[in-house]
Amino acid sequence: MTPNPQEPSFRDSVDIMFNRAVALMDLPPGLEEKIRVCNATYTVRFGVRLRGKIQTFTGYRSVHSEHMEPVKGGIRYSMAVNQDEVEALAALMTYKCALVDAPFGGSKGGLCIDPREYDEYELELITRRFAYELIKRDLINPAQNVPAPDMGTGEREMAWIADQYKRMNTTDINGVACVTGKPINAGGIQGRTEATGRGVQYALHAFFRDKEGLKKAGLTGGLEGKRVIVQGLGNVGYHAAKFLSEEDGCKVIGVIEYNGAVYDEKGINIEALKTYINHSGSPDGFPGATFTTNGAEMLEEDCDILIPAALEGVINLGNAARIKAPLIIEAANGPVTAGADDILREKGCVIVPDMYANAGGVTVSYFEWVKNLSHIRFGRMQRRQEETRHQLIVDELERISRDTSISWTLSPNFKEKYLRGAGELELVRSGLDDTMSDAYRTMAEVWHGRDDVTDLRTAAYLVSIGKVAQSYRAKGL
Ligand code: NAD
């Protein structure tokens, strides 16, 4: 995508949104600047011998704010990675963690690479070398800086990073906590892979419970039957679209990928489309749907909910005026530029901001980090004890039923559901749901409660900057 010269950079876009909120706050002189600036960005260039020659790669790890440590943020593999992008994403991590009460500062990393160009063995060599460069400078460390997956990376890369850290720090008993988003058998947690998409679903549940918010978006009713368009069927977009269509009755009418988009007003079967793309590499030819090569145009189609879940800047000065969706939920980071945000707010479009909408990933990453440090699976100590206590109640109810003349029975499945104690996945989901509901409530109170706040993004910034400011004050700054 060629940047529009009138459009600020991603980093500037984040700062413009930050400044809009700060103008409504009463912070001590200088604190606003301290919070806004990025503390440090490390650039590394390293060589890896591949296919008979040395190839040089460029990577970054940016630390935006260390008001809490460790700092946290994903590692992205993409050809578009650059310092401005990594710094913008690190800033968003600071605000996101504060908003959902994940006790971390903000960081982000990226490697300028197209992962599709390399096989698994080559990617492992490159990832281990990149991790080595960051680990030896404590830019990957369970107490200081904990990465996670982002665009172009997943649990496989996180497992390589964790293993590389352990090889270099053999006596660190908490070594596995140096990175989150790992596979279960390498210290991961149930529910992390789908956590960001699941968080998008919970965010929409919270939004649809907010009658005033719905009214502002001009929407009525629940999620059932709502027409959804999703951009990016990767980790975040796929899980969000899958849960919304399979569990909430949404109709996903459009899916946009980098090489084209498919449309079907009857609703697309997400699982079938994902399998199709995995085999053919493109949505082109997916049965029953209309294919178009210019995917970006589908962002402008009529729908109830638009979910950009691919990359930043896709809704910009060039197309914002033509966007018809009354509700946009930013599953990706920074999909709406500051200029587009102004146009959309004027039109009355409600935007559920990235720092909240995609916070499910860092929330469950926090649970994974805590699990790693405590060296025990959530629920392991309590589950059987909980089941035993529930059994006592069920036995007592059944005894009362036998010993009295009143005839009643427990409803079908009650016993089975009630008796089952919570395992790790149930606990992760409940913690995530609670976090997303709570964070929505704090944003909505500001959004609906202050006359000078007209959008959810400003409300989100006000809440999170307020929390970061409190941390700085507590440190004596
Ligand atoms: P991913 O690499 O798994 O998926 C990205 C998808 O977008 C891929 O299917 C890719 O083909 C598609 N895509 C790329 N360019 C596109 C284009 N121009 N048009 C349409 N589709 C395009 O990445 P992800 O982890 O799902 O991340 C997506 C977004 O969500 C990013 O902005 C990321 O920062 C954000 N995010 C991810 C997580 C996480 O846990 N993975 C957490 C928070 C935020």
Final residue before a domain boundary, out of 135, 158, 186: 186
The rounded Å distance from CA 248 to ligand 1 centre is: 22
| pLDDT value for 464 | 98
The rounded Å distance from CA 333 to ligand 1 centre is: 9
The closest-lying atom of ligand 1 relative to the alpha carbon of residue 331 is 30
Query: Does residue 403 lie within any of the structural domains?
Result: yes
State both tokens at 31. Answer: 């604190």
Instruction: Render each residue's pLDDT in the chain as its tens digit; 477 residues.
Output: 555 778 999 999 999 999 999 999 999 989 999 999 999 999 999 999 999 999 999 999 999 999 999 999 999 999 999 999 999 999 999 999 999 999 999 999 999 999 999 999 999 999 999 999 999 999 999 999 999 999 999 999 999 999 999 999 999 999 999 999 999 999 999 999 999 999 999 999 999 999 999 999 999 999 999 999 999 999 999 999 999 999 999 999 999 999 999 999 999 999 999 999 999 999 999 999 999 999 999 999 999 999 999 999 999 999 999 999 999 999 999 999 999 999 999 999 999 999 999 999 999 999 999 999 999 999 999 899 999 999 999 888 888 888 887 777 788 788 888 888 889 999 999 999 999 999 999 999 999 999 999 999 999 999 999 999 999 989 887
Is 347 part of the annotated catalytic residue set?
no
Ligand 1 contact via 333 beta carbon (within 6 Å): yes
Final residue before a domain boundary, out of 140, 167, 186: 186
Ligand 1 contact via 163 beta carbon (within 6 Å): no
Residue nearest atom 17 of ligand 1, based on CA coordinates: 258
| pLDDT value for 175 | 98
| pLDDT value for 86 | 98
* Closest by CA position to 319, among listed 341, 334, 352, 287: 341
The residue range of the domain holding 61 is 38-186
Choice from 236, 358, 366 to test ligand 1 binding pocket (greatest atom count within 8 A of CB): 236
* Closest by CA position to 314, among listed 366, 261, 267, 268: 261
| pLDDT value for 117 | 97
Encode pLDDT of 309-327 as tens digits.
999 999 999 999 999 999 9
Residue nearest atom 41 of ligand 1, based on CA coordinates: 150
The closest-lying atom of ligand 1 relative to the alpha carbon of residue 237 is 26
Q: How far is Cα 386 from Cα 399, in angstroms, rounded to an integer?
A: 20
Ligand 1 contact via 256 beta carbon (within 6 Å): yes
| pLDDT value for 275 | 98
Query: Does residue 473 lie within any of the structural domains?
Result: no
| pLDDT value for 417 | 86
Query: Does residue 429 lie within any of the structural domains?
Result: no
Q: How far is Cα 72 from Cα 90, in angstroms, rounded to an integer?
A: 8
Choice from 96, 113, 150, 366 to test ligand 1 binding pocket (greatest atom count within 8 A of CB): 150
| pTM, 2 dp | 0.95
| pLDDT value for 3 | 59
- Check which CATH number belongs to the domain holding 92 and give it: 3.40.50.10860
| pLDDT value for 345 | 96
The rounded Å distance from CA 151 to ligand 1 centre is: 5
Q: By the 8 A CB rule, do 350 and 328 touch?
A: yes
Final residue before a domain boundary, out of 134, 163, 186: 186
The rounded Å distance from CA 321 to ligand 1 centre is: 24
The number of domains in the chain is 2
H or E, element range at 56 = strand 53-65
**Which 3 state secondary structure label does DSSP give 292?**
strand
Rg, the chain, Cα only: 23
| pLDDT value for 1 | 52
Query: Does residue 314 lie within any of the structural domains?
Result: no
Q: How far is Cα 190 from Cα 179, in angstroms, rounded to an integer?
A: 15
Ligand 1 contact via 335 beta carbon (within 6 Å): no
Ligand 1 contact via 99 beta carbon (within 6 Å): no
Encode pLDDT of 402-429 as tens digits.
888 777 778 878 888 888 888 999 999 9
Query: Does residue 207 lie within any of the structural domains?
Result: no
Query: Does residue 348 lie within any of the structural domains?
Result: no
Q: How far is Cα 109 from Cα 29, in angstroms, rounded to an integer?
A: 31
Which residue among 72, 108, 226, 274 is the active-site one? 108
Ligand 1 contact via 105 beta carbon (within 6 Å): no
Ligand 1 contact via 358 beta carbon (within 6 Å): yes
Query: Does residue 65 lie within any of the structural domains?
Result: yes
Q: By the 8 A CB rule, do 176 and 372 touch?
A: yes
| pLDDT value for 23 | 96
Q: How far is Cα 151 from Cα 116, in angstroms, rounded to an integer?
A: 12
Query: Does residue 140 lie within any of the structural domains?
Result: yes
